[in-house]
Every structure is written in structure tokens, then in C-alpha cells.
Amino acid sequence: MSTVIEAKQQHIDVITEQLKNSVSTVLVDYRGLTVAEMTELRKQLREANIEFKVYKNTMTRRAAEKAELTEINEFLNKEMYNVVLSLDGRKEIHARLRRTVNGKGSYDYILPKFQKFVEGRGDKEYYVRGTYTGNNVDFTNDIFHVANLGFDKLSMEPVICDPSEPYALTEKHLPALYRQYEILAEEMLKRGEEGNDFTFYHYMLDLSEGPCIQKRISGCGSGTEYMAVTPWGELFPCHQFVGDEEFSLGNIWDGVTKPELQSQFKEVNCYSKPECQDCWAKLYCSGGCPANSLHATGSLKGNYEFSCDLFRKRVECSMMVKVAESIREMEAEAMAAE
């Protein structure tokens, strides 16, 4: 198990114990407070012998589940605009890398909680997000498994890791992965005709308008449009940089203390990367993921060709789905007009 996952589980355990041992717990949303206001609030609470903590919503939700505090989940469901639930698919696949602190697979533990959480969510946004690896190159079976469980907003990402890891994806997997994305597109169209469709994050494509100019320039937005906040209040460009102090942007009390680092992320887009200039899909990814580029090439502006190949295939398949859906709609309208 990776050190990042272990650290997250330890933090969840700490939050769980705090929730269990507290006389009372008050949840608040600190958005809108300035650094000065946060500092003053902490001072007043400390003088009143009240413990004040800043935790990520997802970690708080998981800790609340372990502590069996349903009221906290209700609050999070009400206040969180979007929720990401981590489920890698089939039980045996999920169990390989998603284990609890006692080393057991977490599938049976989290699945009923995820289903209950989504059921109470109504029409609010959520995604069940999985990661596929060299252990499950047939990842469409995991997507379909999750869809068959009743979840209809799905995402499945390729693992990014050290190539020496036994579960790493490499170029030898590309032909099989290409076919998997084709199978996914075909099955989505089939289920759409049957009225049992689901949304796949990477096949959400606007063929009529295309990506706006702002997104073409800003890329994924890590470090500029959003940041990852650790349980201890440290700021990183995104979750993939957490723990790498070289990419610590600051903290929630002092704000961004490395504006020069933030500027580096502002400059990462398809216009600043020479390898992107002749790519037909460049405006849909705007240069790709800076973290993937860094981990694969050693540079934020590097090109991780494996990831580029997969992205182009996803765009190709999503275009096929959108065109097929448009043809189906036009045929239906023509039949209705007869």
C-alpha cells in the first residue's frame, strides 16, 4: 500500500476518534473567510478551550461513517456540490489496492455506504471514480459492474505510478486498452437504446461549441483554479502533489506563499508545449495533466506520450458516441414528422 494511502487512512482514524470522543461537534464551511478572520477565529476558540480543525470533506465523511454519525453525512450531502466516491470495480479488483488499515479489502465495507449516500443525494452531482491498472486491463468489466450496482455517473482513470511497480501500465497494454474504450462506447450506445444509460466522465464532449478559450489557456486548472488542501491545512496544486514539499504552495492561514510556483502552473497548457502543436486533440486536453507530465518526464511541461495516446483514443470514442446519438435523434425526429 502506498504511503499516501496509509497517511490518509491514519488521518481518517484520527478524525474518527475525535468524533467519538467529543462532547459535541459543530461543522462549518470556512469558505469566504479571509486569512486574518481565520486567525482571529482560531484565537477565540482556543481561548474558549475549543478544538478547531480543518479537514477535507471526503475524509470527514469517511470518518463519520466509521463513527456511525449519520448526521454528519447528511450535512455533507447537503453542502457538497460534488462528491467523488472511490470504487475500482469488481470486488477482487478493488481489494488489490483499496484495503482498510487491517489489510482487508474494503469493498464490502464501503459499497452499502456509497449506495446509501447516493440514494440520499437526489439530483446533486457525484461520481464513482475507479482506477484501472495492469491488474485489470479489461477495465470495462469493472465499469459495467459499477453501473450494474445502480451508479450512473462513472469515471475510470489509468494508474500513474513508477514503471517498476507490478501493476504499472506500459505501452504494451495500449492495443488492449484501445479496444476497451471501443467496447465501452459500444455498450454505452446499447444501454442508451435500452433506457439504461450511464454517464462516463471522459466521454462528455461538446461537439457543437467545443472547449472555451479560457479552458484552452488554463488547462486542467491545478494550482490556479483549484488546489488540494491537506488535513493539516497545507496547499498543493492537486492531490497528486501532496507530500512533495517542493510543490507546497502555502497553507490556509498564510495563503499562497510561492506565487512564482503558481505562475509555473499558469503557463502549462497546449500553447506552451511544442509537442502539442500538431496534435488534433490538443484543445480538448490543453496540454494534459501537469502531475503526469512531471512524474513521467521530470518536467511540468513534458509530454507523457502514453497518456496522450490514451487521451486521443478517448476523444475519438467519445466523438463516435456523440455522432451516433445525434444520428439516432435525427432519425427519431424524422420518423415523428412522417
Based on the fold, state whether residues 192 and 260 are members of the same structural domain.
Answer: no
Kindly report the backbone phi and psi dihedral angles of residue 79, in degrees, each rounded to the nearest multiple of 5, phi listed first: -95, -20
- Select, from the ranges 21-25, 209-213, 276-280, the one with the highest average predicted confidence (pLDDT): 276-280
Cα–Cα distance measured from residue 156 to residue 136, given in angstroms and rounded to the nearest whole number: 11
Cα–Cα distance measured from residue 261 to residue 247, given in angstroms and rounded to the nearest whole number: 7
pLDDT of residue 191: 95
- Report yes or no: 88 and 132 within 8 Å, Cβ to Cβ: yes
- Select, from the ranges 50-54, 211-215, 329-333, the one with the highest average predicted confidence (pLDDT): 329-333
Task: Quote the mean pLDDT of the chain.
Answer: 85
Cα–Cα distance measured from residue 324 to residue 322, given in angstroms and rounded to the nearest whole number: 5
- Select, from the ranges 141-150, 237-246, 301-310, the one with the highest average predicted confidence (pLDDT): 141-150
Based on the fold, state whether residues 303 and 243 are members of the same structural domain.
Answer: no
pLDDT at 41 over 90: no
Based on the fold, state whether residues 143 and 58 are members of the same structural domain.
Answer: no
- Select, from the ranges 11-25, 43-57, 168-182, 200-214, the one with the highest average predicted confidence (pLDDT): 168-182
Cα–Cα distance measured from residue 243 to residue 245, given in angstroms and rounded to the nearest whole number: 6
Based on the fold, state whether residues 214 and 336 are members of the same structural domain.
Answer: yes
Cα–Cα distance measured from residue 52 to residue 9, given in angstroms and rounded to the nearest whole number: 20
pLDDT tens digit sequence for 155-176 = 999 998 888 899 999 999 999 9
245 Cβ contact list (under 8 Å, min separation 6): none
pLDDT of residue 180: 98
Based on the fold, state whether residues 338 and 257 are members of the same structural domain.
Answer: no
Cα–Cα distance measured from residue 152 to residue 146, given in angstroms and rounded to the nearest whole number: 8
Based on the fold, state whether residues 49 and 119 are members of the same structural domain.
Answer: no
Based on the fold, state whether residues 193 and 90 are members of the same structural domain.
Answer: yes
Nearest by Cα to 181 from 173, 275, 162, 291:
173
Task: For residue 29, name the pLDDT band (cuts at 50, 70, 90).
Answer: low
Task: Give me the amino acid identity at 15.
Answer: I
Please name the helix (run of DSSP H) or strand (run of DSSP E) that holds residue 323, with its range, or none: helix 305-337
pLDDT at 68 over 70: no
Based on the fold, state whether residues 297 and 317 are members of the same structural domain.
Answer: yes
What CATH number is associated with residue 190? 3.30.750
Task: For residue 137, name the pLDDT band (cuts at 50, 70, 90).
Answer: very high
Task: For residue 30, name the pLDDT band (cuts at 50, 70, 90).
Answer: low
Domain boundary among 56, 80, 104: 80
Please name the helix (run of DSSP H) or strand (run of DSSP E) that holds residue 84, with its range, or none: strand 84-86
pLDDT at 221 over 90: no
Based on the fold, state whether residues 231 and 318 are members of the same structural domain.
Answer: no
**Tally of structural domains, the chain:** 4
pLDDT of residue 15: 79
Identify the three-state secondary structure at position 131. Answer: strand
Mean pLDDT of 32-43: 74
pLDDT of residue 6: 67
Based on the fold, state whether residues 70 and 171 are members of the same structural domain.
Answer: no
Task: For residue 231, name the pLDDT band (cuts at 50, 70, 90).
Answer: confident
Mean pLDDT of 231-256: 91
Nearest by Cα to 139 from 187, 105, 75:
187
Based on the fold, state whether residues 116 and 154 are members of the same structural domain.
Answer: yes
pLDDT tens digit sequence for 257-306 = 999 999 999 888 888 888 899 999 988 888 888 988 888 888 998 888 99
pLDDT of residue 128: 95
Give Cα separations from 282 to 24, 41, 184, 216, 312 (angstroms): 51, 45, 23, 9, 9
Cα–Cα distance measured from residue 73 to residue 157, given in angstroms and rounded to the nearest whole number: 26
pLDDT of residue 71: 66
| Threshold 0.85, pTM exceeds | no
Nearest by Cα to 12 from 70, 60, 79:
60
Helix%, strand%, coil% for the chain, nearest 5: 50, 10, 40
pLDDT tens digit sequence for 93-124 = 999 998 887 788 899 989 998 998 888 887 78
Kindly report the backbone phi and psi dihedral angles of residue 156, in degrees, each rounded to the nearest multiple of 5, phi listed first: -140, 115
pLDDT of residue 270: 87
Q: Which domain holds residue 95?
A: 81-204
Based on the fold, state whether residues 101 and 200 are members of the same structural domain.
Answer: yes
